[in-house]
Amino acid sequence: MVLFLFVVMMLDINLEQLREGFWRWFPFGALLAVIMVFQMIWVLGNRQTAETGAQVIKHAANYSNTKELGRLIYTDYVYPFELAAVLLLVAIVAAIALTLRRRKDVKSQEPNKQVLVKKADRLRIVSMVADGNEERQ
């Protein structure tokens, strides 16, 4: 999830363009949200859903959810897990490729020019006349 968020942050999304149609689509979004809330209440409040008759499995005190999850991922669901990993990797590489375009407003350094610089190119010693108001030592 963290990698996905980093990819989204790297995409340089124009928020002004996204906010343009907000109020135009707000009634539709509100209606959709009300329908979804109604469906969740209907499903979770249904007696058949709440009382399925399934028994809760009691585990031993040394049972580990993490160990069981790892066993399932790397045995029963190894191919879907690897497919998801490859898809996420391709998405991350694509997002990085999209953000590495040349932009004029971004400053960059050129290391090969920095190595060739000499002290005389960067430092200039200037002698100045002291102000007459101060005492000389």
Name the residue with higher pLDDT: 100 or 109. Answer: 109
The CA–CA distances, whole Å, from 1 to 4, 5, 85, 92 equal: 5, 6, 12, 12
The SS3 assignment for 25 reads: helix
pLDDT, one tens digit per residue, over 55-107 is: 667 888 888 999 999 999 999 999 999 999 998 888 778 777 777 766 677 77
Among 9-13, 28-32, 42-46, 117-121, the range scoring the smallest mean pLDDT is 9-13
**And the tokens for 19?**
């906010």
What is the predicted pLDDT for the residue at 132? 65
Within the chain, strands assigned E span: none
**And the tokens for 95?**
């997002």
Query: For residues 44 and 129, is the Cβ–Cβ distance under 8 A?
Result: no
Query: For residues 33 and 117, is the Cβ–Cβ distance under 8 A?
Result: no
Split at pLDDT 50, 70, 90, the class of 36 is: very high
Find the largest Cα–Cα distance for the chain. Answer: 98
Q: Please state, in angstroms and rounded to a whole number, the distance separating the CA atoms of residues 49 and 45.
A: 7
Split at pLDDT 50, 70, 90, the class of 18 is: confident
Q: How long is the chain?
A: 137
Query: For residues 19 and 13, is the Cβ–Cβ distance under 8 A?
Result: no
pTM of the model: 0.40
